[in-house]
Amino acid sequence: MARVSFTPHLARFLDCPPVEVDGTTVRSALERVFATNPRLRGYVLDEHARLRPHVAVFVDGRPVSDRARLDDAIEARSELYVLQALSGG
Amino acid sequence: MSRRLWISTRKGLFRAEHSADGWELRNPPAFLGSPVSAALEDPRDGMLYAALSLGHFGVKLHRSEDLGTTWTELGAPSYAFAADPDGGEEALAKAPALELAWSLEPGGADEPGVLWCGTIPGGLFRSEDRGKTWAANRALWDRPERARWFGGGFDKPGIHSILVDPRDSQHVTVGVSCGGVWTSHDAGASWEIRTAGMYADYMPPEQREDPAIQDPHRLVACAADPDALWVQHHNGIFRSRDGGRLWRDCPRARPSAFGFAVAVHPEDPNVAWFVPGIKDEYRVPVDARFVVSRTRDGGDSFETLERGLPHRAAYDLVYRHALDVHADGETLGLASTTGNLWVSENGGDQWSALSHHLPPVYAVRFAA
């Protein structure tokens, strides 16, 4: 299972401990997280399900390539990090 | 009459209250560290609303039933309606998204739970369940003139002022930077633009009087005379006595006609306050003297109010929502991006500083 970790910055607003989920893409992994933590969705994605402009997602050390589709493939043991981009201040 | 002032800042929502000891600023703020773009204490049911603009994580609305001790996150206005499902990747990349909840107003006294929210990039939203869910006003969004709106102070246009007529809750008027003044008599089902008399000398000549490009920085109405409107416009001060059908400018405004904020007396439509600055190239107080200007004759003449305000080396800028008048008509709140907060209890004749050290202030608002 892939492991998804969130910036501690988000803990100011809601609980989001690291979770292990199944998924073949960044999108599918995140959707499984949101299924159990629905409030988190609006903090990471906008209303068009795009990554928010000042949120960064890394997969095994690489930033995602398509911030709208989030269709980067992930491995069974991938490590995903959802972080605040420093562009957000 | 109790007096309480909500102060929305770059780093949280502060509250000041008047007691036997006078005005006092309470610490700490709600939402410490988070930008608060607007707050509203609803006079109909005492609910307190706050709009947050989290730098990374989007716009969030919260409601408190106990004046800020505990909060519940609400739904936020959504531009999902503006998606083009058949447009492919390019359309997805361009689809507008909520950037700022810029104005928050209660519906009429006969509409419990109804709220209006004006946003950047230009959408107007209405809630009928105390902010839990929001519906976009498509009638205004779909107006062809909206294509000519543009950003004022932000990259995208936004609705910063919403007036609900106390005589008729179906009559709603909004101010758009930069997109003019729009009014509806059917609760937003249809809209007409009302800027006749406004002008924009900073635009190309053929667009000077184009209604859809006017930049009313702030629009307010006299509570007792809701057809008496005031606008602090990018080009100066304008007033209307007929609900915005005709505007006239106030060329005698002193020390300048430029500014962002305006407040009008709740009983006397001829009394209004402004925070003048050097016009748009600078946006700082004239001669570095921070003053408030007041008219008491409908804009024919202006007084400069400066007692208690900094006389020299003052570069405070007051945003459009950072001046408010209490329902008593005498108490004023005023705050700046430099973090100064002042209150006057005599219509602006004398000011007292409550703080010189707040975060940059976006808005001040009295509980009604």
DSSP string of B241-296, one letter each residue: SSTTSS-EE-TT-SS-SB-S-EEE-SS-TT-EEE--BSTTTT-S-GGG---EEEES
**pLDDT tens-digit map of B209-233:** 999 999 999 999 999 999 999 999 9
On whether any CB of chain A is under 8 Å from the CB of B191, the answer is no
* pTM recorded for the entire structure: 0.97
Q: What is the mean pLDDT of residues B333-346?
A: 98
- Of the partner residues B56, B60, B98, the one whose CB lies closest to the CB of residue A88: B56
On whether any CB of chain B is under 8 Å from the CB of A41, the answer is no
H/E element, B39: strand B36-41
> What residue spans define the domains of chain B?
104-366
On whether any CB of chain A is under 8 Å from the CB of B97, the answer is yes
CB contact under 8 A, B56 and A85: yes
Instruction: Say what the pLDDT of residue B65 is.
Output: 98
Instruction: Name the residue with higher pLDDT: B50 or A86.
Output: B50
Per the omega criterion (within 30 degrees of 0), is the bond before B121 cis? yes
Cα–Cα distance, B26 to B4 (Å, whole number)? 11
Cα–Cα distance, A31 to B107 (Å, whole number)? 36
Q: What CATH number should be reported for the domain whose range is B104-366?
A: 2.130.10.10
Instruction: Say what the pLDDT of residue A86 is.
Output: 81
**pLDDT tens-digit map of A61-81:** 999 999 999 999 999 999 999
Sequence-separated (6 or more) residues with CB below 8 Å from residue B115: B40, B42, B49, B104, B105, B106, B107, B126, B127, B130, B131
**Model confidence band, residue B1 (pLDDT cutoffs 50, 70, 90):** low
Model confidence at A88: pLDDT above 90: no
Instruction: Say what the pLDDT of residue B147 is.
Output: 96
Model confidence at A54: pLDDT above 90: yes
**Model confidence band, residue B145 (pLDDT cutoffs 50, 70, 90):** very high
- Of the partner residues A47, A48, A84, the one whose CB lies closest to the CB of residue B56: A84
On whether any CB of chain A is under 8 Å from the CB of B56, the answer is yes
On whether any CB of chain B is under 8 Å from the CB of A52, the answer is yes
Joined tokens for residue A79: 């490590």
Joined tokens for residue B19: 């007691």
**Model confidence band, residue B2 (pLDDT cutoffs 50, 70, 90):** confident
Q: Which amino acid is at A64?
A: V
Exposed/middle/buried for B197, CB within 10 Å: 0-12, 13-18, 19+?
A: middle
From B58's Cα to the closest Cα of chain A, the distance in A is: 6
Percentage of residues of chain B with pLDDT beyond 90: 95
- Please tell me which residue of chain A has the smallest CA distance to B80: A47
∠ CA B80-B185-B179 to the nearest 5 degrees?
55
B56 contacts in chain A (CB < 8 Å):
9, 52, 54-55, 84-85, 88
Task: Note the ipTM here.
Answer: 0.94
**pLDDT tens-digit map of B92-125:** 999 999 999 999 999 999 999 999 999 999 999 9
Q: What CATH number should be reported for the domain whose range is A2-88?
A: 3.10.20.30
CB contact under 8 A, B56 and A54: yes
Q: Quickly list H helices, chain B.
A: 88-94, 138-141
Cα–Cα distance, A27 to A8 (Å, whole number)? 21
**pLDDT tens-digit map of A3-44:** 999 999 999 999 999 999 999 999 999 999 999 999 999 999
Chain length of chain A: 89
H/E element, B305: strand B303-305
H/E element, A39: helix A38-44
Model confidence at B29: pLDDT above 70: yes
B58 contacts in chain A (CB < 8 Å):
42-43, 46, 52
Instruction: Say what the pLDDT of residue B236 is.
Output: 97
**Model confidence band, residue B87 (pLDDT cutoffs 50, 70, 90):** confident
CB contact under 8 A, B57 and A46: no
Counting other chains too, the contacts that A13-16 makes at CB distance below 8 Å and 24 or more residues apart are A13/A43, A13/B54, A13/B57, A13/B60, A14/A39, A14/A40, A14/A43, A16/A40
